A and B are shown apart, each in its own frame.
Chain A
Amino acid sequence: MSYAREDAGAPPSLFPDYGSTRTRAPLQPPLRVPQTRTETTGPAGWDRLMGPSLADLTTQHGGVPQGQRIIVTGRVLDEDGRAVPDTVMEIWQANAAGRYIHGKDQWDAPHDPNFTGAGRVVTDAEGRYRFVTVRPGAYPWGNHRNAWRPAHIHLSLLGPAFATRLVTQLYFPDDPLIEIDPIANAVPMPYRQRMVARFDMDVTEPNWALGYRFDVVLKGREQTPFEEDDHDH
């Protein structure tokens, strides 16, 4: 058993419009190596590792955070459409004004004492997850003159194996900054749209929160091993 390699939607490591990649992206092509149990196994017992679920980012402090309350929900699947149950999704984001709680964020928008912006959910048996947060604001960054990141939520998933590890960003459907953002643009069209959540009235709750649907698709299993399977197991 092994896991699929990346598909046509994968971005390159070097994307010069995103300036930091110029000195940080490897210049050698990644080396294709056989997968062993090291790549096809992965950590389990996420709560023992990372602590209990933090699914509501709007109730972590004494008061209600500023901004538009939203629900984000969906499923974690593999590329064959199979649910990925019991896997952790970690999220972190800026507040409604586009400011991170991080000390090195120099953007002059207000902090919100009632909002940290970090959470963690685990998928159920059908791969479903759900969290409640506020919609993050766009923020400026130093990549080029008048550079603004589209509003986004950072997502980190372990998946079932070392080979399926994924960190990505969720974007919002009504954001004109996506099509000119160098980080989103590293993903070619139309695959870039895989990172754009769908506004969904069936997730939206009356008099409470707008709803967005976002499925995360991890690498699938391949039945034909690349070179040789591990002989010992």
Chain B
Amino acid sequence: MTIDVADRRPEPRVDNQDPALFGQTPSQTVGPFFHYGLPWKGGADLVGQSDMGARPELFPEAHYVLNQSSPTGTPVGAVIELTGRVLDGQGAPVPDAMIEIWQADAAGRYAGEPGSDPHFVGFGRAATAEDGSYRFRTILPGAIGAGHAPHVALSVFGRGLIKRLATRLYFDGQAGNEADPVLSAVPVERRATLIATASGDGVWTLDIALQGERETVFFDL
């Protein structure tokens, strides 16, 4: 018996479709050239409709195909700014990193949970600037339950980062920091790497050190 030429198929290989290899797809770096593909204008503004978050100056305007944030309404809560710099092991700024945030609304509910603020998406994305800085406009999250301190989950991506680095940002002086189940799992001498400090006008600052003496605590998720 012969197989019709139109029905012939290449021999299967050891690849993505091999059942023997089925398991988590491994992580790879975003590389240095993600700016026209990931951080959209407004991605770093969870409150209003500004252009924060993108780096459109890094590619021709005709090739901006990402979202332009559209009006949705103002979320409930105290408006704050989260800012800081991403630094490498030699203390040099990292200009080709990207930060994502995920946080609860002012009442401590995540988007999609019953009763959550319909005007708050809780997710944001910001490319770092040439000086390694990131900046988000958001609202102060509520505690997600008794015993938890208000916090923002952070993901760090970048050239040289084969895997996403996950961490949290806490707020200096907030009630509950001492009892928080995640913060209290961090060795005392390294906790400061997760605690943003207030600099007035609702601005909270936290540098992210990828490596070195004050290396940020990253989580095994």
A interface, CB within 8 angstroms of B:
3-13, 15, 18-39, 41-45, 48-51, 54, 60-61, 74, 79, 81, 90-92, 94, 100-105, 113, 116-119, 154, 156, 162-163, 165-169, 173, 183-184, 186-187, 190-199, 201, 213-219, 227-228, 230-233
A100 and B24: CB pair below 8 A?
Answer: no
A102 to B148, CA, bound (A): 42
By a CB distance below 8 angstroms, the chain A residues around B171 are none
A141 CB to nearest chain B CB (Å): 9
A25 to B29, CA, bound (A): 11
Beyond known contacts A79-B23, A183-B28, A198-B15: 6 more, CB 8 A cutoff:
A6-B220, A18-B160, A36-B144, A43-B111, A51-B68, A196-B15
By a CB distance below 8 angstroms, the chain A residues around B159 are 20, 24
A35 to B18, CA, bound (A): 31
By a CB distance below 8 angstroms, the chain A residues around B158 are 24
Q: Is the interface of A mostly helix, strand, loop or mixed?
A: loop
Residue of B43, B111, B186 ringed by the most chain A CB atoms within 10 A: B111
B160 and A195: CB pair below 8 A?
Answer: no
Q: Is the interface of B mostly helix, strand, loop or mixed?
A: loop
List the count of A-B residue pairs having beta carbons below 8 Å apart. 293
A82 to B57, CA, bound (A): 41
By a CB distance below 8 angstroms, the chain A residues around B40 are 50-51
B26 and A11: CB pair below 8 A?
Answer: yes
B58 and A49: CB pair below 8 A?
Answer: no
B162 and A195: CB pair below 8 A?
Answer: no
A154 and B21: CB pair below 8 A?
Answer: no
A141 to B33, CA, bound (A): 12
* Given A191-B21, A232-B146, A102 and B28 contact (CB-CB distance below 8 Å): no
By a CB distance below 8 angstroms, the chain A residues around B100 are 165
